[in-house]
Amino acid sequence: MSEVTLEAQVGREIGSATTRRLRREGKIPGVIYGHGTEPLPIAVDGPALRVALSGEAGLNQLLTIKADGREILAMARDLQRHPVRNNVTHIDFLVVDRDEKVTVEVTLTIIGDAVDVRHADGTVDQQVFAINVIARPADIPTMIEVDISKLNIGENIKVGEVILPPGVEHGSDLEMAIVTANSARAVVEASTEGEDAAEAAATAAAAPEAAASAE
């Protein structure tokens, strides 16, 4: 994975007034921490941060943060967003080492055509859209492919069955099902059961009212 350079302003004061001023200037307050170092309050340019994290790697992008004459290798970790505008209001950066493995979340991408399922008018239900993996920063994949070509009705693909790139290990429950192939009948039955349960609940709720009216 290639690295992206990000300039950081250090020495910012802690407090709501300073934070509001930085945001008005288009900057995002944050902190760099990890590897036994003292947390370092910083501020980064908002547009530059969006560009840095807009690539395929997303939050797993390896960053070289230039701060106070130093170059710090880090990854974005915790992004806080405004509840209405959804813009980033604060960001944490975790210091990493090129030779030290980290645990990160990587998106899953479904590939292939489940021919047997399609011919049986079944459906492929994706239940998990990202999994945790353990790898050195440079080995972290931008996404992981899950091939459903050989999937049959009643089968599923578990985390432990997904083939990972070299240097990458599983960090999630190996028995967790990512996708499941259901028959058309199973889908209809599940829908019918849901409708029956809803009808039964509505009937039970209406019963006391009916009894009260009768009195």
Interval 135-150: pLDDT, tens: 999 999 999 999 999 9
Domains by residue range for the chain, with CATH: 3-96 (2.40.240.10), 103-189 (2.170.120.20)
Beta bridge partners of 72: 65
Which of the pair, 89 or 177, is modelled with greater confidence? 177
Residue 205 has pLDDT above 70, yes or no: no
User: Is the pLDDT at 208 greater than 80, yes or no?
Assistant: no
Query: Across-strand partners of 108?
Result: 144
Residue 190 confidence (pLDDT) above 60: no
pLDDT at 213 over 90: no
Q: For residue range 68-90, list pLDDT tens digits in order.
A: 888 999 999 888 888 888 888 88
H helices of the chain, where? 16-24, 46-52, 115-119, 184-214
Question: Per-residue pLDDT tens for 97-117?
Answer: 999 999 999 999 999 999 999
- Distance from C-alpha of 12 to C-alpha of 27, rounded to nearest angstrom: 11
Please say if the pLDDT value at position 165 is more than 90.
yes
> What count of other Cβ atoms lies within 10 Å of the Cβ of residue 94?
17
